[in-house]
Amino acid sequence: MNITERFLNYVKFDTQSAEDSQTVPSTPKQLIFAKYLKEELESEGFADVEMDEMGYIYATLKSNTKKKVPTIGFISHYDTSPDCSGENVKPRIIKGYDGTDIELSPGIVSTTKKFPELLKHVGEDLIVTDGTTLLGADDKSGIAEIVQAMCFLRDHKEIEHGDIRMGFNPDEEIGMGAHHFNVEKFGCQWAYTIDGGDLGELEFENFNAASAKIFIKGVSVHPGYAKDKMINANRLAAEFATMLPLNETPEETEGYEGFYHCIGMQSNTENARLSYIIRDHDRDRFEERKRFIGKCVYEMNQKYGEGTVVAEVKDQYYNMKEKIDPQMHVVDIVLKAMQECGVPPHVTPIRGGTDGAQLSFKGLPCPNIFAGGVNFHGPHEFISIQVMEKAMQTIIKICELTAAYND
């Protein structure tokens, strides 16, 4: 099986996670894919293949050297984003992309004007959607690349390597992927998430992240008799939203700039709920953002009465940079691997999160490496087959260089 066939098999499964679920994994359909993947790893002959009751999968490619080599790992998640349907994905391969606009379905077009990233892949073979679902390259491409790389190393015993661990998990897209990842069982000195974007991306710093749920309690009164009595939760929700800086939203920021992002709103006259995510690379500024949410709540309650507005703020993950900086050899190996594979490195801060952030704070240094997908979480998502192959080659080279690390 080649890497393209493996990836196309994976995207047949709907593995969308769900933000408000209380179960692990957050959706039962994720377990259907997890069982399939476990059986595939067993059929490929890997060792120590196991899946726990929450759908976390672990496996090993055993060492083929007598050298003392660090045990390293590669990790990807199999859930897809709640932002766009992942059901009944219909992928299509465009061979030798010619640099023109791509009609996904009648009336649904990926234009090079809106998606200039396409032009970086002229001449390559692209996998696209039919414009009605996401593709699932985030992060089933990462899984395909890891498994394919391990199969290559299994079949090419001339390449020395130590024990290499694989880990695959649910619920990364809702910020829960690393919560139940068993770092002790994984048993690695360091690892890499294969969950980045286009060719050469290497990330070892990311947003500090929190969620904020704002609950507003209104008072419903017949509008004809509402004078000095009604508290309209709909209106208060809109008022709260305007208290946050309008230029500190995702659509107005880039690079190291943080933001507040309203991801949901439910309201009627009596009750309203706003859901936000809070992001910033700088830890002090991150803490200031959380305090600002509290300040807005306080001002609303001063105006409309104590208890009218309540905030529930929860930290999700932190910037992994503070954990990677003392162990920069884990990054140096990747940079050398990319160089030897002819991949121009593009070191960039993640404007988002990755399981590697949480894992780094659980004692497993875990930078993030490109998987190849572009325009994640929507129907214009695509991936280059050639970039997938480069990701696979980079993984192989990392394993080879790690075997030489203690020479």
Tens digits of residue pLDDT in 46-80: 999 999 999 999 999 999 999 999 999 999 999 99
**Residue 9 confidence class, pLDDT cut points 50, 70, 90:** very high
Whether the per-residue pLDDT at 407 is higher than 50: the answer is no
Q: pLDDT digits over 200-228, tens only?
A: 999 999 899 999 999 999 999 999 999 99
Give the Å distances, CA to CA, from 40 to 12, 45, 168, 185.
15, 9, 13, 21
Q: pLDDT digits over 11-22, tens only?
A: 999 999 998 899
pLDDT of residue 317: 85
pLDDT of residue 294: 97
Mean pLDDT on 88-114: 97
pLDDT of residue 363: 94
**pTM, full prediction:** 0.85
Mean pLDDT on 158-187: 95
**Residue 132 confidence class, pLDDT cut points 50, 70, 90:** very high
Delimiting residues of CATH 3.30.70.360 domain(s) in the chain:
208-316
> In sequence order, which residues have a C-beta less than 8 Å from that of residue 59 and are 6 or more positions away?
41, 46, 47, 48, 49, 50, 165, 166
* Residue tagged active-site, from 14, 40, 79, 381: 79
Q: pLDDT digits over 280-303, tens only?
A: 999 999 999 999 999 999 999 999
pLDDT of residue 406: 62
Mean pLDDT on 105-130: 97
Task: Cite the beta strand spans of 181-318 per DSSP E.
Answer: 190-196, 201-203, 208-217, 259-267, 271-280, 309-317
Q: pLDDT digits over 298-327, tens only?
A: 999 999 999 999 999 999 888 999 899 999
pLDDT of residue 316: 85
> In sequence order, which residues have a C-beta less than 8 Å from that of residue 198 and are 6 or more positions away?
117, 120, 346, 370, 372, 373, 374, 387
The answer to whether 369 touches 348, Cβ cutoff 8 Å, is no
pLDDT of residue 148: 98
Whether the per-residue pLDDT at 352 is higher than 80: the answer is no
pLDDT of residue 175: 84
- Alpha carbons 269 and 235: distance in angstroms, whole number: 8
Whether the per-residue pLDDT at 33 is higher than 90: the answer is yes
- Alpha carbons 382 and 117: distance in angstroms, whole number: 10
Mean pLDDT on 226-244: 96
* Residue tagged active-site, from 163, 172, 201, 203: 172
Mean residue pLDDT across the chain: 96
Percent of the chain surpassing pLDDT 90: 93
And the tokens for 390? 């480069």
Mean pLDDT on 127-137: 98
CATH of 3-206+319-403, one of 3.10.20.30, 2.60.40.650, 3.80.10.10, 3.40.630.10: 3.40.630.10
Delimiting residues of CATH 3.40.630.10 domain(s) in the chain:
3-206+319-403
Residue 318 vs residue 333, higher pLDDT: 333
CATH of 208-316, one of 3.40.50.300, 3.40.50.720, 3.30.1380.10, 3.30.70.360: 3.30.70.360
Give the Å distances, CA to CA, from 57 to 16, 35, 43, 48, 189.
17, 9, 15, 10, 18
**48 is known as an active-site residue:** no
> In sequence order, which residues have a C-beta less than 8 Å from that of residue 50 and are 6 or more positions away?
38, 57, 58, 59
> In sequence order, which residues have a C-beta less than 8 Å from that of residue 30 and are 6 or more positions away?
15, 17, 55, 78, 79, 170, 171
Separation of first and last alpha carbons in the chain: 34
SS3 of residue 315 by DSSP: strand
**172 is known as an active-site residue:** yes
